[in-house]
Chains A and B, each alone.
Chain A
Amino acid sequence: MSITFENVSHVYGVDTPFEFHALKNVQLNIKNHSFTAIIGQTGSGKSTLIQHINALLLPTQGSIKIDDYLISVTNKPEKLKQLRQKAGLVFQFPEYQLFEETIEKDIMFGPLNFGKTEQEAKEIARSMIKIVGLDESYLDKSPFDLSGGQKRRVAIAGILAMNPDILILDEPTAGLDPQGTKDMMNLFKSIHESGKTIIIVTHDMNHVLEYCDDVIVMNHGEVERHDTVTQIFQDSEYLNQLGIDLPMMTRFILDLNEQGYHIDPSINCIEDLIEAIGGEING
């Protein structure tokens, strides 16, 4: 499912003293099966942008096309609910959306809302809890007895349970410990490999380099750049100007190259880097 934004603008609080232009003339085409990062400073419109994809927010101007769904000012799709099933949105700190007595019931909540039977939903819950790295014994526990990181896994399982084609994540690793962060990112990677489109809002450029294909740079409500990861990180001056640091690995390669090495700056995994450095030293 490819996502196309046509001239989308969004204004909060029209005709009030609090009027705020959160999105300005956004033109965008997110490819099917891509792993796209959205970066930009706080308040640049990232969260507003992603909430348009599952029609939680409707554009005040322009339109969004996702497969057969057209969302525009005048055309509020009647089958919104189906769109929300197809585009699963995980909010920042999703653990706050948990409310059921047991984890099983909470994961079943989404599938039941989208018309699955009790039995089907139970089976989905059983498989989802394993996918997010917890075992079946958790199903009967209360979600409120878990640690913060575990709660987040359960909340994400609740979205994955809807089996969305597009998974949208708003800073999913904020506040997690390093191991939890790594597990979480690897989880998204495997979901991507199973054929889904992933859109992730993040501030961690190391994640962008390691996991993503494309990058969207937001600045003051506008999409400034939409390019491949390699292209974006080549332009370190531009990123600097936005207050965004290069990923550690890219920075390291650029520093080495300044000292006379000739390593490809688009390398994104540590093994390749070691090999490249070894090649230069030995060769």
Chain B
Amino acid sequence: MDNMTFGKYIPMNSIIHRLDPRLKIVTLFIFLISVFFDAGFIGYGILGIYVLMCALLSKIKLSHILKAIKPMLFMMLFLMFFNIFLLKTGDLLLVLGPVKIYSGAILQSAYIFIRLVLIITLTTIMTSSTKPLELTLAIESLLSPLKKVHFPVHELAMMISIALRFIPDLLDEAKRIMKAQASRGVDFNEGTFTEKIKSIISLIIPLFISAFQRAEDLANAMESRNYNPEARRTRYQILTWNLSDTVALAVTLLVCFVVIVMSFLI
């Protein structure tokens, strides 16, 4: 539970940290689309350099990013495994009894691996360089045109920010309850199947009770302040678009444009 690195904000003062959160969301979105255009290894090389630049500029340690990739390794290997054995494109390379391995399958598996690594790395850079509240602010700002069609943008943003706000609290709470139950002889790591179920119950029930209690307290606190989602409010934090944001957007668009064009030419 201590190695929850994925999605954790790391306070630092870097160019990437200072970029507008709206830009970071849009950039990630554009990147996610272009990563699925197959522009060969040169294309992925370009995207790789782009991600590497982001990582260097954000001053986030490589070890932190590797830690975020690690839990995904199993899924990556799982996907690669099936791709290698099931895809039947390209030349036949190897025959192992009933199993036939084609060159296209190997290529595809390599692509999948590269794509996932790139996606996870960039997402980690974004979440560790942007405060959760900034992200919500950005989501609200980006979705604000939808207000015209009466989409509850503010409510959605509020829900997201409350959810994000309580993740660390609930994690702490879970850790605390686990320790309290461990003090009563629960072993969360070992034991038979029924013992494991029992130990998980001893964690889940108190956690749910405390989560509901928190929700009720928060609802009461909001109501006693007369919270009204439709009220007009001013902001403490105002998102400002700087020159560096424009430059970052231009670079991203250029990189993605090149990769997408290349994928059509190949």
Contacts and interface: CB of A to CB of B under 8 A. Distances in A.
Interface of A: 13, 15-17, 51, 54, 56, 81, 84-85, 88-91, 94, 96-99, 109-110, 113-114, 144, 158-159, 162
Given A99-B201, A99-B205, A144-B209, A162 B180 contact: no
Contacts of B210: 96
With most chain B CB atoms within 10 A of its CB, the pick from A17, A54, A94 is: A17
Contact of B206 (A16, A17, A97): A97
Given A17-B11, A97-B180, A110 B185 contact: yes
B176 interface: yes
A158 B12 CA distance: 45
A19 B176 CA distance: 19
A113 B184 contact: yes
B180 A113 contact: no
A26 B183 CA distance: 23
Interface of B: 2, 10-12, 63-64, 173, 176-177, 179-187, 201-202, 205-206, 209-210
Chain B contact residues, majority secondary structure: helix
Given A17-B12, A97-B180, A113 B206 contact: no
A157 B253 CA distance: 64
A109 B184 contact: yes
B185 A162 contact: yes
A84 B185 contact: yes
A119 B11 CA distance: 55
B185 A81 contact: yes
Nearest to B2: A13
A80 B210 CA distance: 28
A88 B182 CA distance: 10
Contact of A96 (B10, B11, B180, B185): B180
Nearest to B203: A99
